[in-house]
Structure 1
């Protein structure tokens, strides 16, 4: 992956997760919802195990996730980190808007 692709991907992750977090915060009225859900998104993105495997074959599924997380390259972590930053910025923005008097947020 080229550095330009990584930078564009990181910006896209930031914008996408900021948008999703902002909408979830408005609808659910919970400020940090996406920040707590984000690790589940990351596991679903990097893992190729079915969700039911975490219940039926827990140790195998968790070992597979552990291997996949350790196998991530720097640029993958960079992009996923910007997604987390977008989720955090959505929470900070909603908090600021609520303190400023916007009651719909």
Structure 2
């Protein structure tokens, strides 16, 4: 993957998760909702196992998830971490806006 692709993907993930986090935090009147939900989103992005197999076959699903997480390259981890940074920044922005007196919904 080229450096330009990594840059574009990291910016897109940051903006995507900032926007989703901002909207969820605004609608649910909570500050850190998306930061808590983000690991579940990462599981959906990374793993090939269906979601129901985590409940029906946990002995096989969780080791497969661990193997998939360990096989991520540094570039993939960087892109996912920029998405997580977007969720953190959205929580900080919502917090600042609430302290300044803006009421959202």
- TM-score, length-normalised on structure 2? 0.98
- TM-score, length-normalised on structure 1? 0.98
Count, aligned residues = 105
RMSD of aligned Cα (Å): 0.8
Superposed, which structure 2 residues align to 1:22-61 within 5 Å? 22-61=22-61
- Runs of 4+ in structure 1 off by over 3 angstroms are none
Could you say what secondary structure the match of 1:5 adopts?
A: helix
CA distance in structure 2 between the aligned counterparts of 1:104 and 1:49, rounded to whole angstroms? 38
CA distance in structure 2 between the aligned counterparts of 1:61 and 1:104, rounded to whole angstroms? 40
CA distance in structure 2 between the aligned counterparts of 1:103 and 1:9, rounded to whole angstroms? 32
- Cα distance, 1:104 vs structure 2: 1.8
CA distance in structure 1 between the aligned counterparts of 2:31 and 2:73, rounded to whole angstroms? 31
Per-residue CA distance 1:72-92 (angstroms, 9 max, x = gap): 000000000000000000000
Unaligned runs of 5+ in 1: none
Residue 99 of structure 1 is matched in structure 2 by: 99
Per-residue CA distance 1:49-85 (angstroms, 9 max, x = gap): 0111000100110000000000000000000000000
CA distance in structure 2 between the aligned counterparts of 1:13 and 1:104, rounded to whole angstroms? 24
Unaligned runs of 5+ in 2: none
Residue 74 of structure 1 is matched in structure 2 by: 74
CA distance in structure 1 between the aligned counterparts of 2:104 and 2:67, rounded to whole angstroms? 43
